[in-house]
Structure 1
Amino acid sequence: MSMSAGGKDDEPMMEMNTTPLIDVMLVLLIMFIITIPIQTHAVKVDLPQNSNNSSPPVDAEKNKILIDANGNVFWNSVQIDDVTLRQYLDASLQKDPEPELHFQPDPAARYDTVDRVLAIIKRANVSKLGFVGNEQYRNDF
């Protein structure tokens, strides 16, 4: 006669001990976490380097280039041609600190005129360029 610890006599009494299984799984999980290299996602951005510790003056000079619907180019509200634009850009780059350049084309201006002026600005190596008035195109796309 055998002793019965519950249940019917005709059913086998098999209960799996899950404690060692859980322990092994936790150890494997920790090992995988430790051995997997850290995935880093880096975006390289060239930040401006300040050679001296003084901050730039608050009232820095700001130049504005406007292009109207007829393709006329204006430097601070004075109409200029491409050669004069390049001369003004070269003169502004000689100043320390470099003044900001605001670029504002009219929405009806021809693309080739805007592209030509942007090419002149790029060839002059202007580093402080901002596009003004882009909020008018916000709802177009």
Structure 2
Amino acid sequence: MAFSARVSSPAISTINVTPLVDVLLVLLIIFMITAPVITHKIRTDLPQPGRTTATDNVDPIRLSIQADGSMTWNDALITDAQLGAQLSLAASRSQQPELRIDAADGAQYQAVAHVLSQAKSQGMARIDFVGH
């Protein structure tokens, strides 16, 4: 058996981009699927320039959310059912107090989001977060 060597064949000098395009299309599909899941839309009421707020003598409400999910309303332990009633009473006042939410470092996002949704649904307009 004799093998013949092709001396005159030119070397392939082009890059095969097909695998690169396949990988990029897979990454594009992954980002298109995960991007709507990552973004959360929350309506925030930012202060407007030139608006003055009247200072009132209503004491703010301190609502603490612990890491285990328990809540305290002005340092008194409160359940989820009592929270809705207390928020309803606070929202119906003539001068609505400010709700200051203090979430612990290990508090679950779902618990904080649930408190926010309850406060908004009861009509609380002044909600702030307190940091440590």
- Please confirm whether the aligned pair reaches a TM-score higher than 0.5, indicating the same fold: yes
Q: Which runs of 4 or more aligned residues in structure 1 lie more than 6 Å from their structure 2 counterparts after TM superposition?
A: none
TM-score w.r.t. length of structure 1: 0.52
Q: Name the SS of the counterpart of 1:104 in structure 2.
A: strand
Superposed CA RMSD: 2.1
Q: What is the deviation of 1:109?
A: 0.7
Stretches of structure 2 that go unaligned for 5 or more consecutive residues are: 1-45, 49-53
Q: What is the deviation of 1:46?
A: 8.4
Contact 1:89 1:121 in 2 (8 A): yes
Give the number of aligned pairs. Answer: 83
Query: What amino acid is the match of 2:97?
Result: P
Q: Name the SS of the counterpart of 1:108 in structure 2.
A: coil
Aligned equivalents of 2:78, 2:126: Cα separation in 1 = 21
Question: Identity across aligned pairs (percent)?
Answer: 26
Stretches of structure 1 that go unaligned for 5 or more consecutive residues are: 1-44, 48-54, 137-141
Aligned to 2:88: 90
Aligned to 2:128: 130
TM-score w.r.t. length of structure 2: 0.56
Q: What is the deviation of 1:105?
A: 0.4
Query: What amino acid is the match of 2:91?
Result: L
Task: Give the number of the structure whose alpha-carbon radius of gyration is greater.
Answer: 1
Aligned to 2:97: 99
Q: What is the deviation of 1:69?
A: 1.2
